[in-house]
Amino acid sequence: MKFGFPELPYEINALEPFISGKTLKYHHEKYHQVYVENLNRLIMGTKFENKDLETIIKVAEGAIFNNAALAWNHSFYFSELKTGNNQILKGTFARVIKRNFGSVRFFKEMFTGSAVSLLGSGWIWLILNQKGSMEIIHESNAGNPLRRGLIPLLTCDVWEHAYYLDYKNRRSDYLEAFWKLINWELIEKRYDDAGKESKGS
């Protein structure tokens, strides 16, 4: 299976002033695209050639795993952001977050705290575990929770390339910006779909 390179679901400067068009273009074309191209090249002639992306993430090792996970993670990250300033977490899904974390504020603090304390490159995830409870976890480098049987709902890319042009080394400022861009309706949909899937299986 040759993997396509997904276009961004918004204009290149749609996330300004929180994430600049320059950062987004660089991130999408110099990182995401390269991971997809590497993956397509690496799987040629291997047992992964005709596998879907999630299967590759679950079983591959080394460079094939790294590029597959980074291709997936970036699609997941870019698709969950939304133009229009200050997306607010409210309604039914805010109540779900409150049930899992105590309050939306505490959830945000935990998520940001996890991002700030992660040493080096990686990803912060809101996931659903096998018991159907939410957790915030971090993964270094190309890490992806699918590999551990967890269901990803939200991710923040905390590799420096995601924010350095806009925020230099100030990862917590980037997190504040990221928070204003999250498309909560989509995260809620991911959560609802995960519930349907687990009931169906």
End-to-end CA, the chain: 26
From 1-9, 44-52, 149-157, 191-199, span contacting Mn ion (CB under 5 A): 149-157
- Size of residue set near Mn ion by CB under 5 A: 4
Residue with tokens 């939304």: 82
The nearer residue to Mn ion, 80 or 188, going by C-beta atoms, is 80
Neighbouring CB atoms inside 10 A of 24's CB total 23
Cβ atoms of 140 and 120 within 8 Å: the answer is yes
Cβ atoms of 76 and 139 within 8 Å: the answer is no
Q: Is 80 in the site for Mn ion (CB under 5 A)?
A: no
**Closest distance between Mn ion and the C-beta of residue 197, in Å?**
27
Q: Is 157 in the site for Mn ion (CB under 5 A)?
A: yes
What span, in angstroms and rounded, lies between the C-alpha atoms of 16 and 5? 23
Q: Is 166 in the site for Mn ion (CB under 5 A)?
A: no
From 18-26, 27-35, 45-53, 130-138, span contacting Mn ion (CB under 5 A): 27-35
**Closest distance between Mn ion and the C-beta of residue 50, in Å?**
27
Q: Tell me the residue ranges of DSSP E strands in the chain.
A: 122-128, 134-140, 151-157
**Closest distance between Mn ion and the C-beta of residue 159, in Å?**
5
The nearer residue to Mn ion, 139 or 157, going by C-beta atoms, is 157
Find the residue with minimal CB distance to Mn ion.
157
| Binding residue (CB under 5 A) for Mn ion from 35, 159, 163, 178 | 159
Q: Is 174 in the site for Mn ion (CB under 5 A)?
A: no
Instruction: Please return the burial class of 48, using the count of CB atoms within 10 Å of its CB with bins 0-12, 13-18 and 19+.
Output: buried
Cβ atoms of 68 and 56 within 8 Å: the answer is yes
| Site of interaction with Mn ion (CB under 5 A) | 31, 157, 159, 162
